[in-house]
Structure 1
Amino acid sequence: MTENVSPLAPEHIAELPALEGVRIATAAAGIKYADRTDLMLMVFDRPATVAGVFTQSLCASAPVDFCRANLAGGAARALVVNSGNANAFTGKKGSEAARITAETAAAAVGCKLEEVFLASTGVIGEPMDAGAFADTLTALAKSADDAGWTDAARAIMTTDTYPKVTTRTAVIGGVEVRINGIAKGAGMIAPDMATMLSFVVTDADISGDALQSLLSEGVDSTFNAITVDSDTSTSDTLMLFATGAAAERGAPRISDANDPIIADFRSVLFDLLKDLAHQIVRDGEGARKMVEITVRGAASDAAAKTIALSIANSPLVKTAVAGEDANWGRIVMAVGKAGQQAHRDRLRIWFGDIRVAVDGERDPDYSEDAAAAVMKREKIDIAVDVGVSDGVATVWTCDLTKDYVAINGDYRS
C-alpha cells in the first residue's frame, strides 16, 4: 500500500451504513504488511444467497478454485479475505492453506465448510501459512459487528491508495433495500469476467439463480469495461450476497432476474458496480488521469468494445495521455490493430468536444492548442467513430506514468 493517495481519489470516503444480516471484523495478522490490517471476516447471521464471477486465468488461485466449488451450494455464512499473499501458483500447499482457512472459519462461525468463501490478494507464488492466523480468525468471529465496512475495504488493499466503498438504496415492491459494496484493485487490472476483488451485499430477498443472472449481466458494462494495464489477475473475484433480511420489512422474494418488480434494484445495482469499477481505474498504479473511451460505428457492440480496449490498453496511447500530448495518430494505430472492421476513410476522432480527425485525415479545422487544452484535464473523453455500422461501447482506463514502473519494479520488496 502506498502512502500517497491518488489525485483521482474521491474527496470523501463514503460512510457505509449497517446492513441487516451481515457483520464484519478485521485484524492485522502480519501476513505480509506490518502495522496494518490484512485479514477480513464477513459473517452472515443466516445463510445468504450468493453469486460470483471469477478470473478466466488458466493459473487461477486456490481461493478462486475453492469459491467456484462452493458456489454450487448456493449459500454463504462466511467470507474470509486476506491481503499480502495471493495464495496463487502455490500447488498442493495452496489448496491445503485454503482448506485450513475455510475449516477455521466454519468452526468459528458454526457453519458448513461449503458455506465459506475465500479470496486472497498479493504476491503470487509465495506459500501462505494459514495456520499462522487461525487464532486471529477465530477471534474475529466473536468480535464481528455491523459497522466495519470501511475497515474491511482497507484490510483487502495492496497497492491501493484508498479504500473503495460505496452504498445505494433501491426499492422492491415498495420496500427500500440496501446495497453496500467494497473493492480493491490498482494494478494487474484488465477485464476478464472480474478484474479485482469486490464484495457486494444486499439485504434484498433474492434467489441464487436470479442473483447470478443479475451479476453476470451487470459485470459486462462495469468491471469488464475497465483496464489499468491489460493484465488479468490470477485472483479476480467479484461476489454478490443477499441476506434476505428485507423480507421482514415486507420486501417480496425475487426468483426471476427478469421480474419487472426489480427494475429499480437492477439499475441501482449496476450503478453501484460501475462506481466501484471507476474507483479502481482512478486508483490505477501511478495514475494521474482517468480516460473514458467510446467507440461508435462498429460492426457490433462487441466489435466496438474490442476496438475501445485496443485503444485503452495501448502503452503509446496511455503515455501520450500522461504527457498531455494530443497525439491522435496513436488512436488511429490502436483502431487499426484491433482486428475489427474499421473504415479508414470514414474514421472520426474527438478529444473531448474537439474533433481532431474526420474522413480519414486530420480535421481541416484542427487546433493543436484546443486539443492540448483537453489533454490537461483530469478526466479525458476520447470518442471514435469507425464508420462501419451502429455498434457502440464505452470503456475506462487511466494514463501510464513513471510511477507505475516504480511501483511494480519493487512490488515484492
Structure 2
Amino acid sequence: MAEALRHAPLRFVVSTWPLRTAAYVFTGIATGLLALAWLPVALVAGAFPLAALERRRVALLGVPALADPHRVPDRPGAAAWLRARYTEAATWRELAYTVLHGSVLLVMNVAAVLLGAAPALIYASGVANFATSSAQTGVAVSHPADASPSAAPLLAGGAAVAVLASAVLLAYTTAAAAMAQGELARLLLAPGDEARVRLLTRSRARLIDAFESERRRIERDLHDGAQQRLLRLGMTLVTAQLELDHDPAAARPLLAQAAGEARAALAELRELVHGIHPRVLTDLGLPAAVAELAGGLAVPVHVRLDLPVRLPPPVELTAYFVVAEALTNAARHAAATAILVTGEHTRGTLTVEVRDDGRGGADPAGGTGLTGLADRVDALAGTLVLTSPPGGPTVLRLELPCSA
C-alpha cells in the first residue's frame, strides 16, 4: 500500500486500496471502542483475544496476518500457561497496544474520518444554515431543491463536488491513519527479537539437516550415476588397449564407445553441478540466471530485474532458488498463462516478486517445496511471503538484506 501511494498517488484513489484502508480504519474504530471497554479486564486477564484479532486485521492492508509471538508453555495446565504468558515481553507489548488502541489510535481514526468527510460535512452544514435562515425570514424551504428553480442545479452540483472531495480526502486520511496503526501493530504485536532468535535457531537446525540430506543425495547420485559411467569408461578403455595390441580395427568401435561414455559422464556431472550452483549465476549474475530459467518454461515469463550491481553470492543463490521454485510451481501446478518476475535493490535490500495468473490456492505446507527455501531465507534474516487466494493471482515476495 505504501508503495502504491508513494509511486502513484493519483492512481491510488481509483484503486482498491482506499476501500481496504477505510475498512481498516472503520473496523479500527469499532475495535478501539472494544479495547476501551476491555481495558480494565485486560489489566488483569490480559489482552490476548483483542491482540489476536488485531494481528489478523492487518490483512486488510494487503499484508499477511502477523504471527503469534507467544511460545508454547513447557508444561500443560492453566498455571503453566499463565506463567508462560505473564513472563513474556509479548504479553506486555499487547497490553501497551490495547491501551494505545483504546485511546490515541481511537482518536486518530475518528479524526481521520472526520477530516476526510469535512467537505461533505461543511456543505451539509451550509445547506442546513441556509434552510434555517430562510425559515426565519419567512421563506419556506423544505428541501434545498425547492429554494428556486435556478438554485436546484447549483445545489446538486455543490453536493456532488462535496461528496467527491470527501471521497478523495477520505482515501488519503484513512490511508495515513491505517499505515500508522498498521506499523504500530507490527512493532508491538509481531514476534520480537526473542521469537526471531527461536525461529532462526529452528531454521538453521532444519538447514543443517537439509544440507546433510543433500550431501547424501549428491554422494548417492555420484555413486550410482557418474561413478558407474566412469568405471565403464575405464573398462572400455582397458579393453580397447588390449585390442590395439592384437587387432587395431576391433579397437576402433571400443574407442567410439568410450568417447560416448565420456560425453554421457560429463553431461551427468554437468547436470549435477548445475543443480548445486548454476554456472550462469556465477558468471553473469541473477538477472541472466533468471532469464535463463524463464526461457526454459512453456509459460510466457516477463522478467524485470533492476539490479545495477552484483549482490553477495549467498543472496544471489537464495533468490535464484526461490524464483526457480516459484516458476516451477506456477508452470506445473497453477495452470498459469503468464508470469511476471520483478525485482529491485533499494536501501540495502533485495526485493523480488513472482506473480502468476494461475488458479491460486497454493499452500506452502502442501508440498510446494517452499519450506526448505523459507529456512534458507530465514538464515539470511530475510522474509518470504506467499499470497495465493483461491482464483489467484499467486504472489511470492522475497526480501533479503544485502549486507556483505
TM beyond 0.5: no
- Which is higher, the Rg of structure 1 or of structure 2? 2
Q: Could you say which structure has the higher helix fraction?
A: 2
* Larger RCO: 1 or 2 (CA < 8 Å, sep 6+): 1
TM range (shorter): under 0.3
